[in-house]
Amino acid sequence: MRSPRTDHPKSRAGGRRGDLAPAARRTVVAVCVLLGVLAGGCSEERAAADLEADKAAIEAMMREYLPRLGEAYETGNIEVLRDYAAEKEMASLLKRIGEFMEQENRVIAPTLQSFTVEDVEIWNYANAFVTTLEVWDVRVLASGTDQVLSQSLGQRNRVKYQLKRRDSGWQVLHRNIETTLEQ
């Protein structure tokens, strides 16, 4: 039986010259894994904080936008939405409001009662999909008068928005009423 050669380079602890001992190698791997977990945890915490900040900014924008949306429907003046809605959305609103006023000879007078942001999904940093539950008092008036032709008080709408990050805030690209809920 041969005795092991202790002077052979591969018989040293750790194998080849310059290799770490197995215990040291495990320590290095453990430290690398720990650093990766810590770095990942920090970025996850930062991402969560960024998401919360975006949600707060979106909710604040909606708080400003929705009453102005009601005003735009009632007066036909979409300029009150200039800072909150993209050109494409403003053009869509102008068309909807104009058609209703011309065809029906009526004016919609919605008043926001409350809203809740139900869901926010941020996509590629610059885009968001937001679902709200909005409660409106909606009155339909004869054009040019205060005569109420019909009304729906406490109308609850689930609305889906597509938003775009602009400068330091968010703008509405598209608004779609998904459902009107019964009370």
Q: Kindly report the CA angle at 118 between 81 and 67, in degrees rounded to 5?
A: 25
Judge whether 103 and 69 are in contact, CB under 8 Å: no
Q: Which fold has domain 22-181?
A: Nuclear Transport Factor 2; Chain: A, (3.10.450)
As given in the structure block, the two tokens for residue 89 are: 């959305």
Residues 146-160: pLDDT tens digits? 899 999 999 999 999
Q: What is the pLDDT of residues 80-116, one digit of tens each?
A: 999 999 999 999 999 999 888 887 788 999 999 999 9
Q: Encoding tokens for residue 14? A: 């750790």
Which residues make beta-bridge pairs with 152?
Answer: 138
> What gap in Å lies between CA 176 and CA 162, rounded to an integer?
9
Burial of 111 (0-12, 13-18, 19+ CB in 10 A): middle
pTM of this prediction?
A: 0.72
Low-confidence ranges of the chain (pLDDT < 50): 14
Residue ranges of domains in the chain: 22-181
Radius of gyration of the chain from its Cα atoms, rounded to whole angstroms: 31
